[in-house]
Structure 1
Amino acid sequence: MIKINNQTIKPESLFKEITNPEQRTILKQMAANQVDYVYQNLSHLKFELLFRSNTMRAARELNKSGVKFTTFTYAFPNRKLWDRLSNGGFLLKNGVSPSVGIQDILKNGSLYAFECSTGIAIVLYLATLYSIGSARFNVLFDHLYLMDWQFDEDLQIYQKYGDDFIPGDVLHFNNPDFDPKQPHWRAENVVFFGNDSFYGHGVGIRNASTIIKFLNTKRKPNPQKSAYLMNLISRPYYQGFL
């Protein structure tokens, strides 16, 4: 349910204010879930809807960008803009605008390779840029660093267990019997689009059964457990930007 200023709100009552079809779909899903989504005012809700739609936009763009999938050992960035660190992370070079650096990944995707958790970080930084604008992004994320789940303190990510999946959420497929020779397939982090559609770097935009079938090809000999979609949700703390 959606609550604004302690009042339960029906999504249809907001349609005059919220005209974007994708954001209306998000509203309907939130209203249908048996969880309270609480906002101080309409502006807070509208910002979250914007951020969620921008997360999906960024995921679609990264999927089309030509970036490659690889492990931390072999990860590489465009070295004109980023320094590659010994752990496989990317650190923005001095003098490079953070907004230029993060968007270069879309512009020159063939010059980048990384694994799925860094892919999710890139999606969320792009969504942040689209939601708050380049001027504020450049102030908040000076010396931008991309590595696994290590986010800047100004992009707070929290996790919760539950099945109240909302488009724009980051979800996680677990592969408990992964092949030890391919530990990067122990899990797949994905952006949820709704309607059984997910984006994960390395697998593309697929439904759940397709992702599970793929992960099941990356298991150890004589596996006992199938890969599965976890009841674990990762979300930015949207109101931290307000």
Structure 2
Amino acid sequence: MITLHHQPVSESQLSALPIDGQFSGTVLTELRNNPVVFNYRSLEELIFEVTLRNYIVVNALNLYESKASFATFYHSRCNERYWRLTNEGGFELKSGASSSQAINDIFQNGSLYAFECATAMVIILYKAMIDTISPSLFDQLYPDIYLWDWHRDSHFPIITETVDHYGIIGDIRYFKNPDVNPRTPQWQGENAIELPNGYYYGHGLGILRAEQMIEELNEFRRVGATRSAYLMPDANRPYFAYLFRYTRQRFSQPEPEPSSAV
């Protein structure tokens, strides 16, 4: 359910919103029909979330098509024009490089890159933000990004919320594999972007339905395993309200703090 200042938003208000994007209508419908109340301080804040979620889905699909490979941290690789590969397998932005150009390069020259699934999620979020707020503003607000696991700029918070079966496209979900084979610890789980029509994108496994993700992970269980992989009931989401205010540089009022961050 969508509310504005804790008051229901009418269908006419929602239909008049100036939103575009391939998946924006689906995002808005899922927010409206969700049993959880999504309250906004302004319609502009709602538009921001819808737009950012749309681009999260778009760029999950784009990363899938980019030919970027899956790799564990110690086999990561990157384009040295923009990044320095660290000993822990992270990508450190080179001095003088544009952060937006460096992120865009991953999508344009994916064959030069290899990374694991949590890093892929952060890359998708950064790219979605670039498309939402513009490359120049992204460069201004996030000039020193470092890509490694869930590491990200302190001004790009992610919150964790219990959603059970009521996730929304653009959420980041986690498929856990509790009986993973110790010889393949990289498959102890899979971070995945929730896509329309019951599909998920996980870097390394591709675009699959939930049951297919589970089947793939079950192939990497230890001998004698009795527990199946499963979709956890939580979703990781950008802290949209914070990002909306931060990216517009509204510093006159205290910023809200995330209740639970990854």
Matches within 5 A, 1:18-167: 18=18, 20=20, 22-163=23-164, 164-167=166-169
> 1:12 offset after TM fit, Å?
5.7
Q: Residue 5 of structure 2 corresponds to which residue in structure 1?
A: 5
Counterparts of residues 193-232 of structure 1 (less than 5 Å): 193-232=195-234
The change in CA–CA distance for 1:10 and 1:179 in structure 2 (over 3 A counts) is farther
Partner letter of residue 69 of structure 1?
F
1:92-115 C-alpha deviation (Å, 9 max, x unpaired): 111110011001101111110001
Alignment correspondent of 1:169: 171
TM-score, normalised relative to structure 1:
0.96
How many residue pairs were aligned? 242
Distance 1:12 1:72 in 2: 49
Structure 1 residues 108 and 165 mapped into 2: Cα distance closer, same or farther (>3 Å)?
same
State the alpha-carbon separation in 2 of the partners of residues 79 and 26 from structure 1.
36
Residue 190 (structure 1) aligned to one of 165, 189, 192: 192
Percent identity of paired positions between Structure 1 and Structure 2: 37
Give the superposed CA RMSD.
1.3
8 A Cα contact 1:23 1:49, kept in partner? yes
What displacement does 1:224 show?
Answer: 1.0
CA shift, 1:226, in A, is 0.4
The 1-side partners of 2:153 and 2:31 are apart by 28
SS of 2:23 mapped into structure 1? helix
Give SS of 1:124's match.
helix
Deviation at 1:6, TM superposition (A): 2.0
Q: What secondary structure is seen at the aligned counterpart in 2 of 1:195? A: helix
TM-score in terms of structure 2 length: 0.89
2:223 & 2:12 partners in 1: Cα distance? 52
Task: Give the gaps of 5 or more residues in structure 2.
Answer: 246-262
Residue type of the partner of 1:165?
G
Partner of 2:183: 181
For 1:11 and 1:195, how far apart are their aligned partners in 2? Answer: 23
**TM-fit CA distance, 1:162:** 2.3
Quote how far apart the aligned CAs of 1:137 are. 0.6
Distance 2:19 2:202 in 1: 28
Q: Is the 8 A contact 1:11 1:31 kept in 2?
A: no
SS across alignment from 2:107: helix
Q: Shift in Å at residue 80 of structure 1?
A: 1.8
CA distance in 2, matches of 1:110, 1:168: 25
Alpha-carbon distance in structure 2 between the residues aligned to 1:48 and 1:33: 15
The 1:11–1:233 alpha-carbon spacing in structure 2 relative to 1, beyond 3 Å, is farther
Q: Structure 1: 5+ residue runs without aligned partners?
A: none
